[in-house]
Amino acid sequence: MKILLGVTGGIAAYKAAELTRELQRRGCDVQVAMTAAAQRFVTPLTFASLSGHQVLASLWQPTVPETVTHDPAPFDIEHISIATQVDAFIIAPATADAIAKLAHGLADDLLTTLALATTAPLFIAPAMNVNMLRHPATQQNLTTLRDRGAHIIEPGTGSLACGMVGEGRLAEPVQIADTVTRALILATEPKRRPHQDLNGETLLITAGGTREPIDPVRFLGNRSSGRMGFALAEAAISRGAEVILVTAATAPSHLKCEVVSVTTAAEMQSAALDALHRVTTVIMAAAVSDYRAVAPAEQKHKKNETGAETFVLELTQNDDILKQIVAARRPGTLVIGFAAETESNPASLRAEGRRKLIAKNLDAIIANDVSSPDSGFEVDRNAGILITHASETVLPSSTKRHMADRILSHIAALRSFNIVSSHK
């Protein structure tokens, strides 16, 4: 793999030398580009010696070291063309200034010009003072880049060069090298092993609508058929995952997975929490009843039992299973919810989905309109919006099976880029 490594001017620039070595250890051919500021921290000669390539240093005198001339070399389009020949462009460390330029598409030096010219995946490893990192301008710029598809390798926490303690340390070179090489391998993986991108993952999927007894023959329920959860289980199995299906609806017999049948929300909660330690991802596609009867009758309720024409049933709230799962999960377990809404207006659907994503502290949520005849309960099709903390993706109307595959592709990407729960 050919990697272009962009080094910008921060104290962590010296760590880019270690990163060059780590990438080489993983079989990568590394070419380095440096900003003028970076060259004040580390000499281009260091990177030229380590990489075995001249360093791309300036638009006007593109490579150093080379014979010093008094006339700047003409603008060298050849060096821009390198941007089109690499498998990935990593910028590490990326200063707040470099991130701002990248977010706005500025190209006033060789490094930012290369970033605009490349079509290769862009990996950005920020390193800066904690206040600069937290500044809304920097956060907004990172969101812009993320939304555009750049992979942000989150900085670590610790003592910073400025003397402060907090977030902003460049991620460790080993972690950066691992993240990039893993992502590149996964990107080529589907070509080699179609649909096996969830190999090694174990998914807990819940399905169906829970039923809360009123008496031995009646229950409180909802219209969920379980089809979305079953489609997710089927798609996950065919992509190589192990699946534990906790279902309140009858599972199709062809599903080759562990099936735990439940009836009530409390049973679903205990089955899900029991399985949690064995899984890497949870998808709560079930429609869980928010309430149950305080005192379900032991005998069938008789119509004229109380003599009154009205019948008052006292209900109490069930626990929120997702909240329990999020609280009990092992670090790194991805938790995805569904938001069943009766709002067809996309803006309200999106807002309600995001509200639940944050309130339940999830990694992603799929907001869908369950009142539409072409999506939601009891139909074979669905549509919605997949919302994460960094992005929103419209899932156009399709069969539930097709939508399941789209959702799983997002999950595979979230896992491969290690962006699980980074907001916590």
CB of 264 to ligand CTP, least distance (A): 11
Cβ atoms 152, 124 nearer than 8 A? yes
Per the annotation, the verdict on 162 as an active-site residue is yes
Q: Which is nearer to ligand CTP, 77 or 327 (CB)?
A: 327
Pull the structure tokens for residue 249.
């609806």
- To ligand CTP, the closest distance from the beta carbon of 207 in angstroms equals 10
CB of 356 to ligand CTP, least distance (A): 6
Q: To the nearest whole angstrom, how small is the minimum distance from the Cβ of residue 249 to ligand CTP?
A: 13
Q: Residue 134: what are its φ and ψ, rounded to 5°?
A: -80, -15
Residue 98 or 244: the one with the smaller Cβ distance to ligand CTP is 244
Cα–Cα separations (whole angstroms), residue 34 to 64, 290, 372: 10, 57, 54
Would you call 325 exposed, middle or buried from its count of C-beta atoms within 10 A (0-12, 13-18, 19+)?
A: buried
Residues 177/150, Cβ–Cβ less than 8 Å? no
Nearer to ligand CTP, 126 or 337 (CB): 337
Cα radius of gyration rounded to whole Å, the chain: 27
Please report, as ranges, the residues that interact with ligand CTP according to CB under 6 A.
265, 284, 286, 288, 290, 318, 320-322, 337-340, 356
Give the residue with the Cβ less far from ligand CTP, 38 or 387: 387
- Residue (42 or 321) nearer to ligand CTP, CB: 321
Which residue bears the tokens 């780590």? Answer: 22
* CB 244 within 8 Å of CB 275: yes
**Minimum CB separation from ligand CTP for residue 197, in Å?**
23
Of 73, 100, 130, 162, the active-site residue reads 162
C-alpha 289/C-alpha 320 separation (Å) is 10
Q: How far is CA 57 from CA 13, 102, 113, 349, in A?
A: 14, 17, 12, 48
CA 88 to chain CA centroid, Å, is: 19
**Catalytic sites, residue numbers:** 162
